[in-house]
């Protein structure tokens, strides 16, 4: 395994308590012995709301920096002494990264930056440039390519999070694909035979740690990684196997999915993005001839069986039992 770039030994995570940020921070906390320092940057309000979780990380050796992500002074102060920044900011604040990147570029210590690119590949093909959910991330990439000269930038492209793809949807989004363990009902997308590449949220953290431990001298590195590739029908078969029951199945065709997507954007509902992303995935926008897992040491990843087992446990746990997901939470 090549080690021809600067080492990431002191890592700062921004967006550490978000949907994917929690898994990334958890993985880094578990691997803290491999680094000289791991820190997070969070706001005073988040520290108050998620104090228990942050306290657990602090007890494991993670440093906690508190401030305003929009404050140049606070960010500069947090950056002091770190060599790598990992951004896990959510879609709604993704452009905040432009200032974070500019300040990292000007920093005397930071040499590596991981933008919040976890999820769907925003440069998969020619049509990616016009997809609505990609626009803000594309602006960030353009800023990096036009302005960054010093930093090494790694994009960790994971594709869809399997935890959400194989989970239970509700309301109008049920038609965008759903697996309901209690009701033994599934809504499959397309014909049910279209392949989709998925990464578990825990594996996003593991793969990120592996990437950090595999430095590069390239100014830009795009790593396309995953946990497994499957189909809606294969997911259903695994659910039926693990629950010992035959499920009731319906389908949302690709044409119907496109219709629902168009209607959602016309109505300007917040879940319009869900329909667009699931249409992209059903069209094959997650598939590649090769994966880059081996380039970062081929870390252990979860299987479809593992994910379904977790989903069954999550959907059937008692109402007052927070279970193993209490710290991580869920979102869609």
SS3 call for 290: coil
Q: Mean pLDDT, the chain, as a whole number?
A: 94
- The answer to whether residue 38 scores a pLDDT higher than 90 is yes
The string of pLDDT tens digits covering residues 175-220 is 999 999 999 999 999 999 999 999 999 999 999 999 999 999 999 9
Sequence-distant (≥ 6) Cβ neighbours of residue 237 within 8 angstroms:
none
Which pair of structure tokens corresponds to residue 59? 């007890």
Q: Is 284's pLDDT higher than 50? A: yes
Instruction: Give the mean model confidence (pLDDT) for residues 271-297.
Output: 97
Give the pLDDT score at 79. 98
Rounded to 5 degrees, what are φ and ψ at 226? -165, 175
pLDDT of residue 6: 82
Residue 332 has pLDDT above 50, yes or no: no
Q: Specify burial of residue 174 (Cβ count, 10 A radius: 0-12, 13-18, 19+).
A: middle
**Active site residue: 10, 50, 76, 137, which one?**
137
Question: Which residue has better confidence, 279 or 330?
Answer: 279
Contact 34, 244 (CB under 8 A): no
Domains for the chain: give ranges and CATH numbers: 10-160+200-226+287-299 (3.40.50.720), 164-194+230-282 (no CATH)
CA 229 to chain centre: 16
Report DSSP letters for 124-188, one per residue: SSGGGGG-GGGHHHHHHHHHHHHH-SS-EEEEEE--SBHHHHTS---GGGGGG-EEETTTTEEEE
Average pLDDT for 282-292: 96
Asked if pLDDT for residue 121 goes beyond 50, the answer is yes
Per-residue pLDDT at 317: 86
pLDDT band at 323; cut points 50, 70, 90: very low
**Contact, 118 vs 202, CB < 8 A?**
no
Angstrom distance (rounded) from CA 141 to CA 147 = 10
pTM of the model: 0.93
Taking the C-alpha atoms of residue 18 and residue 54, their distance in angstroms, rounded to an integer, is 12
**Are the C-beta atoms of 144 and 105 separated by less than 8 Å?**
no
Q: How far apart are CA 230 and CA 169, in angstroms?
A: 19
E-strand stretches of the chain: 10-14, 37-42, 63-66, 84-87, 112-114, 152-157, 178-180, 185-189, 196-198, 220-224, 228-230, 248-252
Once rounded to an integer, what is the mean pLDDT over residues 254-270? Answer: 97
- In this prediction, residue 64 carries a pLDDT of 98
pLDDT at 329 > cutoff 50 = no
> Among this protein's residues, is 185 annotated catalytic?
no
* pLDDT(327) > 90: no
- pLDDT score for 76: 98
The answer to whether residue 14 scores a pLDDT higher than 90 is: yes
CB 8 within 8 A of CB 216: no
How far is CA 76 from its chain centroid? Answer: 26
Residue 321 confidence class, pLDDT cut points 50, 70, 90: low
Tokens at 162, concatenated: 């399997």
Percentage of residues of the chain with pLDDT beyond 70:
95
């Amino acid at each position: 395994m090549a080690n021809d770039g600067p080492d990431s030994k002191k890592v700062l995570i921004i967006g550490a308590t978000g949907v994917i940020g929690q898994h990334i921070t958890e993985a880094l906390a578990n691997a803290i012995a491999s680094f000289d320092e791991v820190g997070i940057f969070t706001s005073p309000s988040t520290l108050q709301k998620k104090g228990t979780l942050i306290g657990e990380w602090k007890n494991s050796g993670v440093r906690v920096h508190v401030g305003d992500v929009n404050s140049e002074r606070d960010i500069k102060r947090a950056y002091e002494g770190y060599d790598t920044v990992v951004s896990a900011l959510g879609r709604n604040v993704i452009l905040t990264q432009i200032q974070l990147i500019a300040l990292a570029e000007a920093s005397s210590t930071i040499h590596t930056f991981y933008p919040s690119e976890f999820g769907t590949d925003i440069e998969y093909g020619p049509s990616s440039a016009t997809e609505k959910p990609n626009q803000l991330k594309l602006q960030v990439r353009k800023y990096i390519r036009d302005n960054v000269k010093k930093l090494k930038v790694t994009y960790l492209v994971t594709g869809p999070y399997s935890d959400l793809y194989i989970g239970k949807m509700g309301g109008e989004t049920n038609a965008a694909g759903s697996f309901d363990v209690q009701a033994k009902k599934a809504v499959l997308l397309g014909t049910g035979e279209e392949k989709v590449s998925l990464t578990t949220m825990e594996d996003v953290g593991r793969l990120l740690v592996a990437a950090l431990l595999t430095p590069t001298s390239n100014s830009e590195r795009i790593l396309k990684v995953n946990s497994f590739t499957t189909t809606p029908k294969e997911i259903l078969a695994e659910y039926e196997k693990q629950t010992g029951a035959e499920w009731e199945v319906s389908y949302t065709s690709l044409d119907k999915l496109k219709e629902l997507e168009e209607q959602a954007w016309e109505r300007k509902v917040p879940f319009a993005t869900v329909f667009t992303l699931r249409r992209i995935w059903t069209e094959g926008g997650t598939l590649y001839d090769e994966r880059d897992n081996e380039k970062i040491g081929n870390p252990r990843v979860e299987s479809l069986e593992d994910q379904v087992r977790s989903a069954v446990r999550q959907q059937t746990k008692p109402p007052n039992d927070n279970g193993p997901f209490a710290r991580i939470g869920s979102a869609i």
